[in-house]
Structure formats: structure tokens, C-alpha cells
Structure 1
């Protein structure tokens, strides 16, 4: 951990921001579990999607 802190001190401010943003993104999105949909809801959504030829953004 000490070595990682020394490396961060040597980086420019912009590089630190990019590196910390990447770390935050990994921490935020790696723990998300894939969401499953109930069978009835999935069938209903599929029916509406087939009727309309796909969903338009903002009009689900």
C-alpha cells in the first residue's frame, strides 16, 4: 500500500483524477448483480415491443 501511495504522489493531478475515477467505477459497477425479470413481465414487455416494432426512447 505504501508503494501505491508513493506512485500516486508522483502522478500529475490529471492522472490522479483519471486513476481515481477508474477505481471508483470498478468499485461501483463490479458489485452489481444482473437483474432478472419476472416471466410474466418479460412476456408482456416482449408483446408490446413486437407490436410497436421496438421501444422508442422515453416511451416504454
Structure 2
């Protein structure tokens, strides 16, 4: 079963992407994915540091 677009549909009006456009979009998405993965790792490390700081503060205050 394949997807068919009517001639008057929005998809048909926008036109189809070329292989070059899809490749460029894929490359950009890969870069974005790597950037987001790095940001998530940095956030996790920052949260660990905050946790350790809170833990140290609470245990020294007891």
C-alpha cells in the first residue's frame, strides 16, 4: 500500500524534495541530534554536581 497525494492536496502543492534536499536535511538533523545529546550530558553532569553540593551541605550541617 503506497501513499498517494491528490493533485490539489497541500503536499502536492509544496512539491517533493529532491535527493539533495533530503540529504542536506538529514545531515542537519544528525548535527542537531549530536548537539542535543551533548547538551543532555552536560545537564546530567550539572545536576550531579548540584546533588553532590546539596548532599555535602546537608551532611556537614547535621
Q: Which has the larger radius of gyration?
A: 2
Higher helix proportion? 2
* TM class, shorter-length: 0.3 to 0.5
TM-score, length-normalised on structure 1?
0.37
TM-score, length-normalised on structure 2?
0.36
- By relative contact order (CA 8 Å, sep 6+), the higher-ranking structure is 1
